Amino acid sequence: MAQKPLEMNGTITKWKTLAPGLAIFTVKKDIPFETFIPGQYTVLGLNYDDTSVSRAYSIGSAPEKLADGLEFYVRRVPVPNGEVALTHLLFERQAGDRIWVGPKSRGHFTAEHALHAGDPRSVIFVAAGTGLAPFVSMVQSHALRHGSANPKHYMMHGVSYEHDLGYREEMSALMGNKYFATLSRPTDSWTGPTGRVESHFEPSKIGALESALGLEPGFIRPENVVIMVCGLQGTIANCLMDLCHRGFVPEERKLRAAFHIPKDTAPSFFFEQYDSEPIVDVKNDELMASLRARLVAAGVTLEEPAPVTG
Query: In angstroms, what CA-CA distances link 232 with 100, 132, 141, 239, 280?
Result: 25, 12, 25, 11, 12
User: Cα 107 from chain centroid?
Assistant: 12
Mean pLDDT of the chain: 93
pLDDT tens track for 99-123: 999 999 999 999 999 998 889 999 9
The answer to whether residues 291 and 280 touch, using CB atoms and an 8 Å cutoff, is yes
Domains 10-101 and 111-297 share a fold: no
C-alpha dihedral (203, 152, 104, 168), degrees to nearest 10: -70
Band of the pLDDT at 82, cuts 50, 70, 90? Answer: low
CATH of span 111-297: 3.40.50.80
pLDDT of residue 310: 47
Cβ-based neighbour number of residue 19 at 10 Å: 15
Q: Taking 90 as the threshold, does the pLDDT of residue 181 lie above it?
A: yes
Q: Indicate the SS3 state at residue 201.
A: helix
The answer to whether residues 44 and 99 touch, using CB atoms and an 8 Å cutoff, is yes
pLDDT of residue 304: 82
pLDDT of residue 117: 84
pLDDT of residue 80: 55
Average pLDDT of span 49-66:
95
Band of the pLDDT at 1, cuts 50, 70, 90? Answer: very low
Contacts of 190 (CB under 8 A, 6+ apart): 162, 183
pLDDT of residue 237: 96
Q: Indicate the SS3 state at residue 298.
A: coil
Q: Domain 10-101: which topology?
A: Elongation Factor Tu (Ef-tu); domain 3 (2.40.30)
pLDDT tens track for 264-286: 999 999 998 776 778 999 999 99
pLDDT greater at residue 183 or residue 83: 183
pLDDT tens track for 227-264: 999 998 999 999 999 999 999 999 999 999 999 999 99
pLDDT tens track for 131-169: 999 999 999 999 999 999 999 999 999 999 999 999 999
Q: Indicate the domain borders of the chain.
A: 10-101, 111-297
Among 32-36, 116-120, 179-183, which stretch is predicted with the lowest mean pLDDT?
116-120
Q: Indicate the SS3 state at residue 190.
A: coil
Percent of the chain predicted with pLDDT > 70: 95
C-alpha dihedral (196, 200, 204, 207), degrees to nearest 10: 160
Q: pTM for the full model? A: 0.94
Exposure string for 209-235, b = 16+ CB within 10 A, e = fewer? bbebbebeeeebebebbbbbbbbebeb
Give the whole-angstrom CA distance, residue 44 versus residue 264.
37
